[in-house]
Structure 1
Amino acid sequence: MITDPIADCLTRIRNGCLAKKDIIYIQYSNIKKNILNILLEQGFIVNYKLTKNKIIKVYLKYIYPKKHSVIKYIKRISKPSLRKYSRSKNLPRVLNGLGIAIISTSKGIITDKLARKNKIGGEIICYIY
């Protein structure tokens, strides 16, 4: 039994990048799908597909010829034991704006830049760059 499925998803992505895997598999949930959708829009992964037995197939992105991962850093911030919330004015800037923070708001799961633009705060899920 997994106590923190989002942390498990991020750890699978991190470990897959370190092991230079092309495809990783993640158990399906709507939150994970929304996080992967943001990663796809921001260019951190190539694609993802939902299989019939509710498993997400994630295609990781690399820079060739040496096969360096596009994702250098991915970290869970708000944990079940300690939630981290932030107002729109105090949202973190990851790597001075080069990275992204994924925020869970009342309008759904969005990036920190979009949350700042719409002036919405929320729970800080993770940092990625």
Structure 2
Amino acid sequence: MTDPIADYLTRLRNAIKARHRVIEIPASNVKKEMTKVLFDKGYILNYKFEDDGVQGKIKIALKYNSRTKEPAIIKLERISKPGLRKYAGAGELPRVLNGLGIAIISTSKGIMTDKEARTQHIGGEILCHVY
């Protein structure tokens, strides 16, 4: 596998389309931090890190609207790819859906949303857009 972040996003995307409630994804530190950001911003219901063996797993409970059964995550889009990395300074960070979505940024202070990076005046690699 050449791009584990794209694999993470694809597994989430496929599970949402198949209307799964819980999915398991192989763990890494970046994926764990991205999962924490998604949980903090209300895009997933819950998560659990399981350490079994070398790599471990992330169990994610997906969030759906109780009445309409629509998923909380409508679109996951990978921005920075291994072949073409996308970086932005604090002033050029993107606004996703005019502020309704989030961009997950990898900065020198860790993985955070575009809004948090703007308030701390730091830029970084734009990993993905979520809305």
Count of aligned pairs: 128
Distance in 2 of aligned mates of 1:121 and 1:66: 37
Distance in 2 of aligned mates of 1:5 and 1:40: 19
Q: How much has 1:52 moved relative to structure 2?
A: 3.4
Q: In structure 1, what residue type is equivalent to 2:25?
A: I
Q: How much has 1:67 moved relative to structure 2?
A: 1.4
Unaligned runs of 5+ in 2: none
- Does structure 1 residue 13 correspond to structure 2 residue 12? yes
**Seq. identity, %:** 55
- Normalised by the length of structure 1, the TM-score is 0.97
Q: How much has 1:65 moved relative to structure 2?
A: 2.5
1:17-43 deviation line (CA, Å, top 9, x unaligned): 111000111001000000000000000
Q: In structure 1, what residue type is equivalent to 2:124?
A: G
Report the 3-state secondary structure (helix = DSSP H, G, I; strand = E; otherwise coil) of the residue aligned with 2:36: helix
Q: In structure 2, what residue type is equivalent to 1:90?
A: E
Q: Which residue of 1 is the match for residue 47 of structure 2? A: 48
- More displaced 10-residue stretch of structure 1: 116-125 or 50-59: 50-59
Q: Which residue of 2 is the match for residue 125 of structure 1? A: 127
Unaligned runs of 5+ in 1: none
- Does structure 1 residue 69 correspond to structure 2 residue 71? yes
Question: Residues 83-102 of structure 1: matches in 2 within 5 Å?
Answer: 83-102=85-104
Q: Which residue of 2 is the match for residue 29 of structure 1? A: 28
Q: In structure 2, what residue type is equivalent to 1:106?
A: S
- Normalised by the length of structure 2, the TM-score is 0.95
Report the 3-state secondary structure (helix = DSSP H, G, I; strand = E; otherwise coil) of the residue aligned with 1:113: helix
Distance in 2 of aligned mates of 1:33 and 1:44: 14
Q: How much has 1:4 moved relative to structure 2?
A: 0.4
